Structure 1
Amino acid sequence: MSILRTMGIAVALAGLAACSVERPPGGVQGDPVRGKIALTQYACQSCHLIPGVPGSKVYVGRPLSDMGRRKVLAGAVPNDQAGLMRWIRDPQSVDPNTAMPNMGVTERDARDMSAYLLSH
């Protein structure tokens, strides 16, 4: 096996390991890999610490680790995929006084983002 081929295989395997995303719980729809990308595209890491998403160590918004273990969001909404999607898409409908802005997140992006967050 040539050195270039060996290096290529090593790089490909490293890339797959870096991209690994846990599976979301049963009943959760969406693509968590795409959700991780969407979280960065909407710059969620500029206010939140998000597992697996690089960003600065900020403490503006609550860290988004252990989302799958939380019972409620914003003290009022059940922490299921529908509730999380509602919060992501229109946080002011849940808490009119929240500092979280409405980022114009599409339904598909919210589904994928919630699939990623609920898998961590």
Structure 2
Amino acid sequence: MGLAKYSFSKNEKLTGKKKIEGLFKKGSSFYLGDFQVRHLQSDDVGPNQILISVPKRNFKRAVDRNLLKRRIREAYRLNKELIPNSFETKGLYIGFVYLSKQILTFDNIQSQLIKCLERLGTIDQ
């Protein structure tokens, strides 16, 4: 079962207008490196759900935004075990907003995301 840990399934993606609005209205946030991280305790039992946002204001071309979202998603997939989560407890809604104006390398994004995930892991749930 070692392979399932590194998956990124559909139910780990934060969807639904009400959930996303709740995350941005009621959720707490912090800035770390080139990311703004918003988080909110979810009401439903299940895995942590994430949302990745790359502002159009900073990257006009969709190709660049999609590249960054893929890199962030991959970094999260490989390091998501840094946030404690079990299926019996309620998970977190997490929003990653990319703030840099440059396209960073995967290694750079991954190292910053690891710091964000470690900080999320220390937050009292």
TM-score by length of 2: 0.26
Choose between structure 1 and 2: higher strand proportion: 2
TM-score, structure 1 length as denominator? 0.27
Larger of the two Rg values belongs to structure = 1
